[in-house]
Amino acid sequence: MKVLLYWFLAIVITFGAVIYQRKTGPTYDKKVSINIEGKEYNFKLIRSHGGEKDCNIELEIADRNISGIVEYKKFPTKDDWTKIEMNRDADNLSFVLPHLPPAGKYEYKITLQKGDTKFHLNDGHSVLIRFKGAVPDSVLMPHIFLMFFAMLLGNLAGIMAIFKYRKYKFFAKVTVIALFIGGLILGPWVQWYAFGEAWAGVPFAWDLTDNKTLLAFIFWGIAFFVNRKKERPVYTIVASIVMLIVYSIPHSMFGSQLDPETGEIIQGWIHLFL
């Protein structure tokens, strides 16, 4: 019964982290809603686009009396906004953002109009969208699975270590393996497909996703080695806490970003402080 409780707690914590990641990551769709004459519309505004084609964004609005205007420009620039009218196709309004090289970004904002009344999506604030290369599912899916599998096992090992259940050492070992393969082998592979660079963390750059993965692996590596001959559960507890903190940082925050002027890929972390 105790073991089942350990697994239950680990699963709850992991699923909580998954939900949190989906709600906070800057590349996940931005959920917005707007009320037009008593009817509530809910949309998802795309914030990430992969592949070599232009980005087509659609809003399902059956009311033919509603039209839309899109304003967009490259980010980060002081360029003038390009304004285009959205196309209507049956129940959908749509527009196309021209393709950008990997890590290139646009900021765009949408205004709907019915009659003389305008309705600004996202309270008039712009939404950032980042372009990237196409990542094969054969690489992306194992990466995602192993990263969250590592977190599940890390949470389990940490909980077991708190209660000094002897199998925490085994699950700590499997956590290190899953984190190494998912984060330090498949992770750079994903980044290579997406942005043309395998590693953007220290010592080469300051990509937060790469650095936080490396930090988690270092702590788990320490926890594994110090527990090989003697039980030191506190190291496993610390490693599990560090990984939980790491996973609490929104995915892709301060990630790779194309400098529109030089055409070089920089990190958002660096750009923020500059």
Phi and psi based region of residue 101 (left: phi greater than 0; alpha: psi -120 to 50; beta: remaining) = beta
pLDDT band at 175 (very low <50, low <70, confident <90, very high): very high
pLDDT band at 208 (very low <50, low <70, confident <90, very high): confident
The string of pLDDT tens digits covering residues 186-198 is 999 998 898 887 7
pLDDT at 65: 94
Specify the higher pLDDT residue, 105 or 209.
105
Using DSSP bridges, classify how beta strands 127-132 and 48-50 pair: parallel, antiparallel or unpaired.
parallel
DSSP state of 269: H
Burial pattern 213-234, b for ≥16 Cβ within 10 A else e, equals bbbbbebbebbbeebeeeebbe
pTM to 2 decimal places: 0.81
Read off the pLDDT of each residue in 54-77 and give the average, rounded to a whole number: 94
Specify the higher pLDDT residue, 154 or 38.
154
pLDDT at 206: 66
Ranked by mean pLDDT, the top range of 23-27, 86-90, 200-204, 255-259 is 86-90
Specify the higher pLDDT residue, 237 or 103.
237
Is the pLDDT at 69 greater than 90? The verdict is yes
Q: What is the DSSP string of 15-64?
A: HHHHHHHHHH-TTSPEEEEEEETTEEEEEEE--EEESSS-EEEEEE---T
Is the pLDDT at 274 greater than 90? The verdict is no
pLDDT at 209: 78
User: Which residue ranges form the domains of the chain, and what is each CATH number?
Assistant: 2-25+135-273 (no CATH), 30-132 (2.60.40.10)
The string of pLDDT tens digits covering residues 100-115 is 998 899 999 999 999 9
Phi and psi based region of residue 94 (left: phi greater than 0; alpha: psi -120 to 50; beta: remaining) = beta
Is the pLDDT at 272 greater than 50? The verdict is no
